[in-house]
A and B are shown apart, each in its own frame.
Chain A
Amino acid sequence: MANNASGGHLPHDMHPLGPVILKSTALTKHYGGVYALNDANFEIRKGEHVAIMGDNGAGKSTFVRQITAVEQRTSGTIWFDGRDVEFEGPLEARKAGIETVFQTLALADDLDVPDNLFLGREITRWNFLGPFRRLDYKAMRAKTLEGLEKTAVKIPNINNTIRNMSGGQRQCVAIARTATFHSKLTIMDEPTAALGVQETAQVENIIRTLKEAGEPLILISHNMRQVMDLVDRIVVFRRGRIVANLKKEETDGEDVVSYITGARTQPEYEVGAT
């Protein structure tokens, strides 16, 4: 079994951050002749927060798009929550428990908070009516409040449409979506890139809440302070390859930057890296 190669999910695995939840092996994606992602071996444990860093075009978002099945990989395997997976699309990945907060917020501006949280998986009644089955607003509202509470997000009026909300509130809604659905893995693609100082702090607080709750997170970010504050481990991408896998305690900002810019590459990733 290919799974055994990881070793992370064996019964006697006593890693303090819990068993491995996601593992990619030799994950590769070409767009025609362009290698956007090459031979990425990555794993994350159940209670772990991992940052993915790298320059623009380094392959971070491409990597996430393969994991979440927004795109289909060229080759390689993805192992998630006990099995090798071949998700057909993002919905299937989400059903399996991978929740993504996209760089471009995947929110419908003209809908309110519960509508957005439950978009594509509404709670309904009268299900015999097919596409005309009735929405259970009451249940969705209750669950929304529950999810917001869990992430410590406070939104004054959840019946407001997203259009009427600030960037921070929008981001919080997007994040609260993951908490509402008890995801097994959360991926955030630059969640604070467009936010002000206060709003960023709010989002970071939510991330800490997730950490305390033992929910795994892959965080794509350019913000060195944020990464150093929030995660356990940093994986650096460069030109479509992983070039470093750094424990937070064993590195610092300058070190990480040298990997990002290409000044250094960890010895085990030397092959093919430029």
Chain B
Amino acid sequence: MAETSQGTGGLKFDRNKRTWPNEANVFIALILLIGLFELIGHYRVGQSMLFDFNTNRDGTILNMARIRIIILQVSIIGIIALGVTQVIITGGIDLSSGSVVGMTAMIAMSFALTAEVNGNPNGRAIFLSEVDGQMVPTPWLHDLPVMVPILVGLLIGILAGFINGVFIAYTGIPPFIATLGMMVSARGVANWWSEGNPVSFPTDQYTALANGNLLDTLTFGLFSESWAMQEVFDGQNPAVFFILLAILFHFIMKHTIYGKHTYAIGSNEDAARMSGINVNRQKVLVYAIAGMLAGFAAILLTSKNLTAQSGMGLIYELDAIAMAVIGGVSLSGGRGSILGTVLGAMIFGIIISGFTYLRLDAFYQEIVKGMIIVGAVVLDQWRQRRASNR
């Protein structure tokens, strides 16, 4: 055998065992997928999906209208997926995030309402009190500073995640069961909160959360006149939040003790425990953060839609899991990254948007979406087996 033996006792360096980042594969898949859609679209629809060479409508060869829609579509679920990614990396799963979105949407929105709409009492208000024999929105619970609904929303999300985490860490029940219970209960809370009625008419500040231009505010309006500010970022706050949170959690997962312990638990829980990591506390923390992100997604969703409905966030958990899995996060834990999930979210967006662009019915979307999720898991299993065989 032609081996280069380095060191004593035959510890060999094998070039083939060098690791090629998995995110690169996902990125290539994204490019290939775009290419595929463009190719089919060229013959079927006769125009490009992401490019617009003819009209130069937005001052660029990109079809900004479609790209904006794609990004907007994926960013709210993408925020949930950032938390789900961390949960899956611990070797767990979170089925509750969609319902937590519904529950948080209802409760947070109730604190974000205006007392009056066009001079009349807000008919969609939740907190009512009797004034002169009439039920009107309770004055001190309406027109609150925007921080109130935000904090309420985040706390509801954290609480839901905390309960998940405590059950998983301290009773030893499988994450699947614990979060399944939360999924049902949280949806129940969402329906009970206003007996199924929508909650609507938020304050302007709250509306601006999703519909304003966050980046313009953050840069003190210095770049208000720029093309990017006007064409790319205006009204794209969910996407801006998604990117900012992705960068934040990328750093946290790669460079902090929280991230390292999250990977360690998913990689070998016993080893983590024997190394002195407080596995239970770490799990509670991870689920609580996932809950918080779901809560934040709910805030953006209600702000975007100007209303909260108890059915909001339905099967978002599966979409979020799909984004993570497509992005190379291994369901057996320990492997994957925030970057992967962001790429997974983009693939997800391209698929959804691509089907619309090819003028295919939405049914096909769902059929294919399911196949892609299963395919991604099969691919992961296969890769894992290959890695352990060599």
Contact = CB atoms under 8 A, between A and B. Distances in A.
Question: A and B: real partners?
Answer: yes
Interface of A: 70, 89-91, 94, 102, 104-111, 115, 119-122, 124, 129, 131-135, 137, 152-157, 160-161, 163-164, 166, 168-169, 172, 198-199, 201-203, 205
B119 interface: no
Interface residues of B, number: 35
Interface in B257-293: 257-258, 260, 263-264, 266-268, 270-272, 274-277, 282, 285
B387 interface: yes
A152 to B, nearest CB: 7
B331 to A, nearest CB: 13
B271 A107 contact: yes
A132 B9 contact: no
Contacts of B387: 163-164
B134 interface: no
A226 to B, nearest CB: 14
A102 B272 CA distance: 13
A203 B6 CA distance: 15
B19 interface: yes
Contacts of B260: 111, 115, 119, 122, 135
Given A161-B19, A205-B8, A131 B13 contact: no
A264 to B, nearest CB: 36
21 contacts: A70-B274, A90-B274, A104-B270, A110-B266, A110-B335, A111-B264, A115-B260, A120-B277, A131-B257, A132-B256, A132-B258, A134-B255, A154-B6, A156-B11, A156-B13, A160-B17, A199-B10, A201-B10, A202-B10, A203-B9, A205-B9
A133 B263 CA distance: 16
B139 to A, nearest CB: 40
A120 B276 contact: yes
B252 interface: yes
A202 B9 contact: yes
B336 to A, nearest CB: 9
B268 A168 contact: no
Interface string B123-164: 000000000000000000000000000000000000000000
B8 A168 contact: no
B280 to A, nearest CB: 13
Contact of B271 (A119, A134, A203): A119
Given A111-B264, A132-B257, A163-B387, A120 B9 contact: no
B7 interface: yes
Given A94-B276, A107-B271, A119-B272, A202 B11 contact: yes
B219 interface: no
Interface of B: 6-13, 17-19, 252, 255-258, 260, 263-264, 266-268, 270-272, 274-277, 282, 285, 334-335, 387-388
Nearest to B7: A154
B9 A201 contact: yes
Contacts, number: 121
B175 to A, nearest CB: 18
A134 B10 CA distance: 36
B105 to A, nearest CB: 28
Contacts of B268: 106-109
Contacts of A172: 11
Contacts of A133: 256-257
A110 B271 contact: no
A199 B12 CA distance: 11
A108 B256 contact: no
A106 B335 CA distance: 18
Contacts of B264: 108, 111, 115, 119
Q: Which 9 A-B pairs have the closest CB atoms?
A: A202-B9, A154-B7, A91-B276, A120-B275, A156-B13, A198-B10, A108-B267, A120-B276, A110-B334
Contacts of A134: 255-257
A169 to B, nearest CB: 6
A111 B258 contact: no
A234 B7 CA distance: 31
Contacts of A152: 8
B257, B258, B266, B335 pick with most chain A CB within 10 angstroms: B257
A109 B285 CA distance: 22
Contacts of A122: 257, 260
B168 to A, nearest CB: 18
A135 to B, nearest CB: 6
